[in-house]
Amino acid sequence: MSSTSNRFSPSKLPYPRPMASDPSQSQSPTDTGVLAGHDSKINVGVLGATGTVGQRFIVLLSAHPWFKIHALGASSRSAGKPYCRAVTWKQPSPIPNAVKELVVQECKAENFAECKIVFSGLDADAAGEIEAAFRSAELAVFSNAKNYRRDPHVPLIVPFVNPSHLSIIPQQQSLHSPPLKKGFIVTNANCSTTGYVIPLSALEKAFGPIEALIVTTMQAISGAGYPGIPSLDILDNVVPYIGGEEEKIEWETLKILGGIAENDEGLKSFDMHARHPLRVSASCNRVPVIDGHTECVSVRFAKRPPPSPQQVREALAAYSPEVQALGCPSAPRHTITVHEEPDRPQPRLDRYYQDGAGVNVGRVRQCQVLDIKFVVLANNVSIGAATSSIINAELAVIRGAVQT
């Protein structure tokens, strides 16, 4: 983890507290003292621990101040083997000692009974049933998979953008059959959605609604998992198609930037259409880059006249979301780094800045068709996947949604 992260020692764990539906009602850890009766870390499990995202979870969680890896799960191909023999380790740092000899389990809830939280980097073909079973077994599941992102009771959280959507968790629990006390699923977004929705959120906070946008992605091969795309397909090439990706970006953006409405019976729903109408057009390409998704974005604001490029640069650089004020230990110090050089951001140079936990923006300039255009670079495996899930879990602990 980067030395620029805010770190909390276990002795500074916040008290769990009831979920506040209004984020302004949440207390910060600094006004709450230490977790009563807990001087040790919270046991967590990792599902899909042998995969690309799973490995990133392991690197981040093995140095986490609040969480301790207690159990690992993967497919029956890996179950029963010590982690170091089950995994094809692709991280630049060695396998952490704490998990090297940990035996990989089948993804059954009873094997994770001593965990409070489970992080999922499961293949989407397996994630649906497994994550539902873990939720039913009263585990808090933080998933990277796409399966539950559209569920009307599951929050789709980009931690720098819409942490207030966690407030739907009690409803997810009460509508479950039988009702749940502790189990729930929180998903994070598609890695390309995550990268570009963070600057969009910053711009909407500063200048009001965006009403149209066009995003063109250049996505790294690690986004396709391991072993992923054959080298003969991607070397010396650009593939102008990633199945389902454009639809996910266009739809997820609306759920994340939309609000939560409540009807007369107190039933909450994600209200994608109550906000100012937003039209999104996405085009996705796979490029021969290992890590880091680059996205060219053009936006049109409702506000006339629109902000100038300089005003946009200042608003992006100043963006300071709630996770930083709350003291989430995995939140980067700078959510958005604005580059002034005309040829940045670049994946090779910028993807590991702040350990991949922030977002890079550059080339902010006028657009002759919409209003403003810029380039985003986000590390798809870190803030696009594992880091977001971990910050979501930190937020849920701070908000008291995870019973510690």
Ligand X SMILES: NC(=O)C1=CN([C@@H]2O[C@H](COP(=O)(O)OP(=O)(O)OC[C@H]3O[C@@H](n4cnc5c(N)ncnc54)[C@H](OP(=O)(O)O)[C@@H]3O)[C@@H](O)[C@H]2O)C=CC1
Ligand Y SMILES: N[C@@H](CC(=O)OP(=O)(O)O)C(=O)O
Whether residue 60 contacts residue 354, with contact meaning beta carbons closer than 8 Å, is answered with no
121 binds ligand X (CB under 6 A): yes
Q: Looking at beta carbons only, is 26 or 78 nearer to ligand X?
A: 78
- Token readout for 366 is 């006028």
Least distance CB 30 / ligand Y (angstroms):
34
Return the range that interacts with ligand Y (CB under 6 A); candidates 99-107, 203-211, 242-250, 319-327: 242-250
- Residue 260 CA neighbour count, 13 Å, CB half: 23
Residue facing ligand X at closest CB distance: 51
E-state strands within 75-209: 105-106, 117-120, 140-143, 184-187
Contacts of residue 42, Cβ cutoff 8 Å, sequence gap at least 6: 13, 66, 67, 68, 116, 117, 397, 402, 404
Interaction mask 371-390, ligand Y, x per CB under 6 A: ---------x----------
Contact (CB, 8 A) for 131 and 120: yes
The site map against ligand Y for 243-272 (x = CB under 6 A) is: --x--x------------------------
Q: Which amino acid is at 22?
A: D
| Max CA pair span of the chain | 62
Do the Cβ atoms of 111 and 66 come closer than 8 Å?
no
What would the two tokens of residue 161 be? 């953008």
54 binds, among ligand Y, ligand X, none (CB under 5 to 8 A by kind): ligand X
Please return the burial class of 76, using the count of CB atoms within 10 Å of its CB with bins 0-12, 13-18 and 19+. exposed
- SS3 state at 235: coil
Q: What is the DSSP letter of 269?
A: E
CA angle 29, 33, 37 (to 5 degrees): 115
Which residues in the 355-384 window bind ligand X by CB under 6 A?
380-381, 384
225, 158 Cβ separation under 8 angstroms: no
Span interacting with ligand Y, options 58-66, 85-93, 218-226, 340-348, rule CB under 6 A = 218-226
Interaction between residue 195 and ligand X (CB under 6 A): no
Q: Please enumerate in sequence order all residues whose Cβ is within 8 A of that of 133, keeping only pairs 6 or more positions apart, or say none.
A: 108, 109
What are the backbone angles phi and psi of residue 127, rounded to the nearest 5°? -65, -35
Q: Does 146 bind ligand Y (CB under 6 A)?
A: yes
Give the range of 14-22, 64-72, 216-224, 308-316 binding ligand Y by CB under 6 A: 216-224
Nearer to ligand X, 54 or 258 (CB): 54
191, 284, 328, 339: the active-site residue: 191
Check 293, 328, 334, 339 and give the catalytic one: 293
Q: Does 199 bind ligand X (CB under 6 A)?
A: no
- Binding of ligand Y at residue 153 (CB under 6 A)? no
| 397, interface contact from ligand X, ligand Y, none, CB < 5-8 Å by kind | none
Task: Pick the binder of ligand X from 1, 16, 69, 78 (CB under 6 A).
Answer: 78
127 binds, among ligand X, ligand Y, none (CB under 5 to 8 A by kind): ligand X
Q: Give the shortest CB-11-to-ligand X separation in angstroms.
A: 33
Q: Is 296 marked active-site?
A: no
225 scored as a contact of ligand X (CB under 6 A):
yes
Active site residue 153: no
Q: Pick between residue 278 and residue 385 the one whose CB is nearest to ligand X.
A: 385
Cα 279 to Cα 207: distance, rounded to the nearest angstrom: 17
Does the protein bind ligand X through residue 54 (CB under 6 A)?
yes
Tokens 């006004």 appear where? Answer: 31
What residues contact 399, with CB distance under 8 A and at least 6 apart?
A: 17, 19, 20, 26, 166
Under rule CB under 6 A, residue 211 binds ligand X: no
What SS3 class is residue 185?
Answer: strand
Q: How many chain residues interact with ligand X (CB under 6 A)?
A: 30
- When asked if residue 223 is in the footprint of ligand Y (CB under 6 A), the reply is yes
- Separation in Å, CA 39 to CA 12, 23, 65: 9, 27, 12
Residues that bind ligand Y (CB under 6 A): 124, 144, 146, 190-191, 219, 223-224, 242, 245, 248, 380
Residues that bind ligand X (CB under 6 A): 48-54, 74-75, 77-78, 107, 121-124, 126-127, 144-146, 191, 222-223, 225-226, 380-381, 384-385
List, by residue number, the catalytic residues: 191, 293
